[in-house]
């Protein structure tokens, strides 16, 4: 049986993250500045508690437009997705590829005992396969 490389060998380790208490407008500014479509949301123990995506941020715009008044909630926790699919740091690239095939994710948060340690993208998986 072939030994496949581990997710930990190809994942990004330096990530832009948000706190649940972060201001949503500041989070949007950060996403635009760094040209990212989403980011993990972590608590003080660096545990993954959600993900904030462009679509999540669009809820702010829709809610504000619909109500024709400033949004009552302005924290990341009010807009983030709370249910997040993750992959373990010890998973193989093959396991990551299977997860990407079976879902429409572009990236997966990588966790070790519930703590965010990185992120793997579809491009990272392709890079690993080509080596």
Neighbours of 130 (CB within 10 A): 6
What the block records as the tokens of 86 is 């993750």
Per-residue pLDDT of the chain (131 residues; tens, 9 = 90+): 468 899 999 999 999 999 999 999 999 999 999 999 999 999 999 999 999 999 999 988 887 777 666 666 789 999 999 999 999 999 999 999 999 999 988 899 999 999 999 999 999 999 999 87
Q: What is the pTM of this model?
A: 0.87
Task: Decide if 114 is inside a domain.
Answer: yes
CA angle 42, 48, 52 (to 5 degrees): 70
User: Domain of 34?
Assistant: 7-130
Task: Decide if 1 is inside a domain.
Answer: no
Task: Decide if 2 is inside a domain.
Answer: no
């Amino acid at each position: 049986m072939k030994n496949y490389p581990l997710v930990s060998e190809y994942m990004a380790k330096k990530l832009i993250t948000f706190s649940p208490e972060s201001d949503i407008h500041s989070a949007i500014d950060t996403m635009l500045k760094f040209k990212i479509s989403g980011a993990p949301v972590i608590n003080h123990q660096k545990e993954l508690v959600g993900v904030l995506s462009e679509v999540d941020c669009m809820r702010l715009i829709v809610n504000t437009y619909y109500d024709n008044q400033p949004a009552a909630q302005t924290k990341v926790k009010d807009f983030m997705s709370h249910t997040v699919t993750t992959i373990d740091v010890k998973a193989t690239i093959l396991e990551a590829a299977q997860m990407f095939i079976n879902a429409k994710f572009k990236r997966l948060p990588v966790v070790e005992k519930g703590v965010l340690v990185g992120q793997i993208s579809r491009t990272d998986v392709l890079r690993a396969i080509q080596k």
